[in-house]
Amino acid sequence: MNKTDFDPKKIKKINIRNIRKFKKAGIKISVLTAYDYPSALILDEAGVEMVLVGDTLNTVFCGAENNLSATMEQMIYHTKIVKRGLNRAMLIGDMPFMSFQADIGEAVGNAGRFLKEGGADCVKIEGGLEITPTIRKIIQAGIPVMGHIGLTPQSIHRFGGYIVRGRKPEVRRYLLESAKALEDAGCFAMVLESIPADLGKEITESVSIPTIGIGAGNSCDGQVLVLYDMLGLFPNFEAKYVRKYENLSKRIHEAVSKYIEDIRNGDFPSDEESYS
């Protein structure tokens, strides 16, 4: 398949079958996070292929110190409201810390909640080789799984912080083996987070399923960013890989300051903004 045989705009609803075609045709996949209905509406209309309700909502949306305290209830609530804004994009629910690590049965049950209660099309799970038995069971239950390796934020305490993964030969080997294992386990795609660009390329070329990079270089089959980071709406986070397409914090600050000024000087509301 080449680019001319495949027109993503003709796809009415993205699913795990047609997402593979993007890789085959060499067309890059765009993914963004959303935690709320208005954002979901805009992303879907703009044409991203996948929308991720990431556990970053715990930090970016709720102001927590890290993602670890995100709960299933929070994740399902936000998945449900994002779902209301989507027509075409595939909806990914992110399995939060300790919703799948301790027990396989519990993991399958929690993954099922994302589809049954949240309306998600699939789930994303952090982890490599060690998590593949759980992934297999979830897929056997009929739930598509997106893998996630590299800097997996649910393991920051094990890694000793938010550090680029895969620079040491043994970690690089582990990540390459994990990528193959995720593909063998049946994942339909995988996120590669904060790894050297040459490793992102090697993994992408070694698996047949799409790789979605975040800080993993330009060779991945697609890219994902946290929406509020790329819009410049979340002031507490800086990363080399975030391209800021907007500075919404500044623009909102200016708008609110103008509103306060207009009220103080009696300019708002005007006669046109008042009822007779």
The residues of the shown chain that bind ligand KIV, judged by CB under 6 A, are 33, 52, 54-56, 94, 191, 214, 224, 226
* Spatial separation of the C-alpha atoms in residues 113 and 101, rounded to whole Å: 16
- Residue at shortest CB range from ligand KIV: 54
86 neighbors 78 (Cβ within 8 angstroms):
no
Residue closer to ligand KIV by CB (options 37, 241) is 241
The beta strand positions in 194-230, using DSSP E, are 211-214, 222-225
Q: Torsion over CA of 237, 240, 244 and 245, rounded to 10 degrees?
A: -150
- Per-residue tokens: 68: 């670890």
CA gap 172, 267 in Å, rounded: 61
Secondary structure (3-state) at 73:
helix
Which residues are marked as active site?
Answer: 193
Task: Give the nearest distance from C-beta 64 to ligand KIV in angstroms.
Answer: 12
CB of 44 to ligand KIV, least distance (A): 17
We find the least distance from the C-beta atom of residue 253 to ligand KIV, in angstroms, to be 25
Which residue's CB is nearer to ligand KIV, number 8 or number 213?
A: 213
Whether 222 contacts 190, CB under 8 Å: no
Q: Which is nearer to ligand KIV, 24 or 219 (CB)?
A: 219
Name the minimum Å distance from CB 233 to ligand KIV.
14
Name the residue nearer to ligand KIV (CB basis): 54 or 196.
54
